[in-house]
């Protein structure tokens, strides 16, 4: 069973060769790359990451620059997962972390059903190629296509926080893992681009309906070895679309750079 529900009527979706279908005959085609689009037209005003951002992120992450973060995630998460659990990555992007989690759990002999949703078709097309065992759907984190109390582990890495939906889909006692950039993440990179670089704002760790049970910080420095890598990491961030072309051009002549990568990792229980 794919574990998704119909975004129209809420009935369980059944997998067919080419689509997902509910008992009320609402049908959703599966793309050639493997994901299914469950985003309704009224929900699709925002399309998420475009091809440039997805390609930049894929190429950058595949070089291992953020491997320290993935390692930190894999140090925390597996001890909360048991065989048979349902894991949902809400805002999975191109599935670098989702695929890493799948591989680690498989290597540990833990059989868990891992689903991912993201609003970007381009991201999921890339994610489906990265790991064919993942079950992926285009959907909004503000309207997740899974049932009430259906999820054992919920993941949100650099994605929007949707408190009501996350509480709805998590089982009582379910685990919520959240990852976000800390204050000085990529600060040296921003110092090249901006005359007055700013630190990231970190919101309160307290979340209504959740109990914080564990926290970890991952702080490292990375040496970007080429202009391509520098431009890729900048292009995969929200800064890219908020920055003038003149400021972006400041990156053109830089062929290597050391910068900070700093992340917070929080574990909650519903």
pLDDT digits (tens, 9 = 90+) for 46-96: 566 788 889 999 999 999 999 999 999 999 999 999 999 999 999 999 999
DSSP state of 44: T
Using pLDDT thresholds of 50, 70 and 90, give the confidence band for residue 43.
low
Q: Given its phi and psi angles, is residue 188 left (phi above 0), alpha (psi -120 to 50 degrees) or beta? A: alpha
Q: Per residue in 165-215, pLDDT tens? A: 999 999 999 999 999 999 999 999 999 999 999 999 988 899 999 999 999
- Judge whether residue 45 has pLDDT over 60: no
**What domains can you pick out in the chain, each with its CATH number?**
1-30 (no CATH), 35-269 (3.40.50.150)
How does the average pLDDT of the chain come out, rounded? 93
Which residue matches tokens 């202009």? 227
pLDDT for position 199: 94
Cα dihedral 37, 41, 45, 50 in deg (nearest 10): 30
Q: Return the sign of the alpha-carbon dihedral for residues 229, 132, 49, 170.
A: negative
The H-assigned helical ranges of the chain are 51-61, 67-76, 96-107, 121-130, 163-169, 187-193, 227-235, 245-248
Q: What is the rounded average pLDDT of the residues 219-227?
A: 97
pLDDT for position 40: 84
For 119, half-sphere exposure in the C-beta direction (CA atoms, 13 angstrom radius) is 18
Measured CA to CA, the distance from residue 62 to residue 115 in angstroms comes to 21
Worst-scoring range by mean pLDDT, 25-34, 144-153, 210-219, 222-231? 25-34
What element of type H or E holds 219?
strand 211-224
- Judge whether residue 12 has pLDDT over 70: yes
Using pLDDT thresholds of 50, 70 and 90, give the confidence band for residue 237.
confident
């Amino acid at each position: 069973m794919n574990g998704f529900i119909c975004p129209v009527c809420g009935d369980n979706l059944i997998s067919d060769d080419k689509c997902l279908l509910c008992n009320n005959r609402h049908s959703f085609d599966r793309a050639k790359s493997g994901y299914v689009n469950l985003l309704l037209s009224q929900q699709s005003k925002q399309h998420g990451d475009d091809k440039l951002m997805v390609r930049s992120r894929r190429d950058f992450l595949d070089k291992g620059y953020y491997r320290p973060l993935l390692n930190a995630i894999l140090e925390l998460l597996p001890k909360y997962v048991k065989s048979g659990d349902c894991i949902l990555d809400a805002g999975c992007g191109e599935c670098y972390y989702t695929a890493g989690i799948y591989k680690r759990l498989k290597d540990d002999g833990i059989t868990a059903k891992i689903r991912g949703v993201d609003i970007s078709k381009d991201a999921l097309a890339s994610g489906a190629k990265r790991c064919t065992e993942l079950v992926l759907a285009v959907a909004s984190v503000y309207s997740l296509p899974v049932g009430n109390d259906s999820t054992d582990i919920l993941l949100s890495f650099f994605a929007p926080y949707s408190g009501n939906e996350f509480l709805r889909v998590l089982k009582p006692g379910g685990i919520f893992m959240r990852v976000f950039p800390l204050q000085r993440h990529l600060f040296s990179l921003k110092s090249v681009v901006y005359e007055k670089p700013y630190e990231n704002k970190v919101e309160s760790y307290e979340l209504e309906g959740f109990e914080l049970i564990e926290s970890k910080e991952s702080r490292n420095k990375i040496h970007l070895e080429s202009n391509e890598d520098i431009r890729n990491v900048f292009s995969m961030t929200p800064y890219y679309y908020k920055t003038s072309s003149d400021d972006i051009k400041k990156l053109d002549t830089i062929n290597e750079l050391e910068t900070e990568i700093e992340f917070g990792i929080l574990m909650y229980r519903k």
